[in-house]
Structure 1
Amino acid sequence: MSDLQPAIVLVRPQMGENIGAAARAMLNFGLSHMRLVDPRDGWPNPRAVAMASGAAGRVLDHAGVFPTLPEAIVDCAYVFATTARARDLTKPVMTPERAMEHARALSASGQKVAVLFGPERAGLENDDVSRANAIISVPVNPDFASLNLAQAVLLCAYEWRRQGDTTPAEVLELAGTELATAIEIGKLGDHYEERLEEAGYFFPATREESMKLSLRNLWSRMPLTRADVQTLHGVLRQILRKRDG
């Protein structure tokens, strides 16, 4: 993985399970650079390994452990601190989306970026936040603003991944078929129009053209597959067969 991805820095994490869950969240979105500052229960931590569950264990295997925050971020040109409160400090406050957009731009220019996450019970202290260049604040429900450690890591990791991802916002999954061509849909429309005309559907005559236009518009709006077209032809033939039989 790229050396230019941000370092995820867990400051004084308390529970091994939360460290492991954070590692899983990181790897879900392609991040592998974890740093730990003075973990409460020491390191390595078997509970973290158990929670990381498999592949994410490699994030823990390469995690850096530091006694203090300044040592953990000494090589970083830009530091984000995740906190729900500005702490009366004059700093830019960004959403995760904006922060990771900025982080990608910094990384692309060769600058090392770190994102700080505080201990589970109370979050980052003022001294921790004062060492950051900007604050990340998640726009959560103000009546219940608490996020657990892994959730906070996941939100930032997701935004980092999304900023560089080219996955289309929507795709149509075609199960063993293809979209019908304009000619195939046109013939389907002709089939229905002919049979409806025989049945006297287009009445009164003054509305015939507008009714046919509406039907043509209906067919063109539908994302029909070739299988759909064949089914609709078959449905109409069977109805007529029953009627005429």
Structure 2
Amino acid sequence: MPSDQPQPALVLVRPQMGENIGAAARAMWNFGLDRMRIVAPRDGWPNPAAVAMSSGAGRLLDEARLSDKLADAVGDCSYVYATTARGRGLTKPVLSPERAMADAAARIAAGEKVAVLFGPERAGLENEDVARANAIISVPVNPEFASLNLAQCVLLVSYEWMRAAGEVVHEADVPAKGDWASAIEIEKLATHYEDRLGEAGFFYPPEKAEGMKINLRNLWSRMRLTRADVQMLHGVMRQMVRWKERDGS
């Protein structure tokens, strides 16, 4: 069964190649979408080539809603977007994938059912298909090479849906090993270095010592250190002191 997560239905209109249907299912599932609808696939349904290409997303193909006509595929939807790279001369809002999925998220949150149409590989949606949509999604591509593979277009829209749904982490600062060092651990490290550097006569001349210590503390605060980093730096200083004592000078 499709998930209970609110999401748009992605409608493949007259897709031609099973491989592209499978790749589209894979792209959808990469971003948590699992409501696929298929209108009049050229090579019939089910399609073994689609299953082979889906690479683990075969459930979407098994649960896909099959229709002979586009009107039936979107009959339960209150708002429909049509993806196209060409100007159609139709008076409709034209949105980027980002803006369209933000709009879709707001509509779905308000209780609407939303669908996104994707045309066949050869030439995309017909004007008659686009006329059934409430808005157009236009991908900003190179005007000299505007043709997008079906699965590529599905992937773009699916990714923008995930962004609009607030599920994309735009920046992560995760330690590769262990936990981040706590403030008290950084404080002890700073004190260790100040004490040993003071004994070595590093803070010279005396009137500049306070400023040098502040600069050193500032250095520690700018570095995101893990507990393992702190332990290693303590060990470096201890070893340097032992080496100096063994050297006897």
TM normalised by structure 2 equals: 0.89
Q: Runs in 1 of length 4+ with deviation above 4 angstroms? A: none
Equivalent residue for 1:37, pick from 36, 39, 46: 39
Shift of 1:13: 0.7
Tell me, in whole angstroms, the C-alpha distance in 2 between the residues paired with 1:29 and 1:69. 25
Q: Which residue of structure 1 lines up, in the alignment, with residue 104 of structure 2?
A: 103
Shift of 1:176: 5.9
1:229-240 equivalences in 2 (<5 Å): 229-240=230-241
Tell me, in whole angstroms, the C-alpha distance in 2 between the residues paired with 1:227 and 1:142. 52
Tell me, in whole angstroms, the C-alpha distance in 2 between the residues paired with 1:105 and 1:154. 20
Shift of 1:131: 1.5
Amino acid at match of 2:32: G
Shift of 1:100: 1.3
Q: Which residue of structure 1 lines up, in the alignment, with residue 66 of structure 2?
A: 65
Q: Which residue of structure 2 lines up, in the alignment, with residue 52 of structure 1?
A: 54
Shift of 1:229: 1.2
Of 5-14 and 138-147, more deviation after overlay is shown by: 138-147
Tell me, in whole angstroms, the C-alpha distance in 1 between the residues paired with 2:197 and 2:140. 55
Tell me, in whole angstroms, the C-alpha distance in 2 between the residues paired with 1:103 and 1:121. 27
Tell me, in whole angstroms, the C-alpha distance in 1 between the residues paired with 2:77 and 2:229. 57
Tell me, in whole angstroms, the C-alpha distance in 1 between the residues paired with 2:240 and 2:192. 13
Question: Structure 2: where are the runs of 5+ without partners?
Answer: none
Q: Which residue of structure 2 lines up, in the alignment, with residue 91 of structure 1?
A: 92
SS of 1:135's partner is: strand
- Is the CA contact (8 Å cut-off) linking 1:4 and 1:111 kept in structure 2? no
Of 13-22 and 170-179, more deviation after overlay is shown by: 170-179
TM normalised by structure 1 equals: 0.90
Q: Flag the 1:141–1:206 CA change in 2: closer, same or farther, 3 A.
A: farther
SS of 1:203's partner is: coil
Shift of 1:178: 2.8
Q: Which residue of structure 1 lines up, in the alignment, with residue 209 of structure 2?
A: 208
Cα deviations across residues 103-145 of structure 1 (Å, max 9, x unaligned)? 1222222222110001112111222212111111223344443
Amino acid at match of 2:126: E
Q: Which residue of structure 2 lines up, in the alignment, with residue 6 of structure 1?
A: 8
1:177-196 equivalences in 2 (<5 Å): 177-196=178-197
Q: Which residue of structure 2 lines up, in the alignment, with residue 27 of structure 1?
A: 29
Shift of 1:166: 4.5
Tell me, in whole angstroms, the C-alpha distance in 2 between the residues paired with 1:37 and 1:220. 59
Of 155-164 and 184-193, more deviation after overlay is shown by: 155-164
Q: Provide the aligned C-alpha RMSD in A.
A: 2.0
- Is the CA contact (8 Å cut-off) linking 1:86 and 1:135 kept in structure 2? no
- Is the CA contact (8 Å cut-off) linking 2:177 and 2:226 kept in structure 1? no
- Is the CA contact (8 Å cut-off) linking 1:23 and 1:52 kept in structure 2? yes
Question: Structure 1: where are the runs of 5+ without partners?
Answer: none
Shift of 1:199: 2.6
Shift of 1:167: 5.5
Q: Flag the 1:32–1:181 CA change in 2: closer, same or farther, 3 A.
A: closer
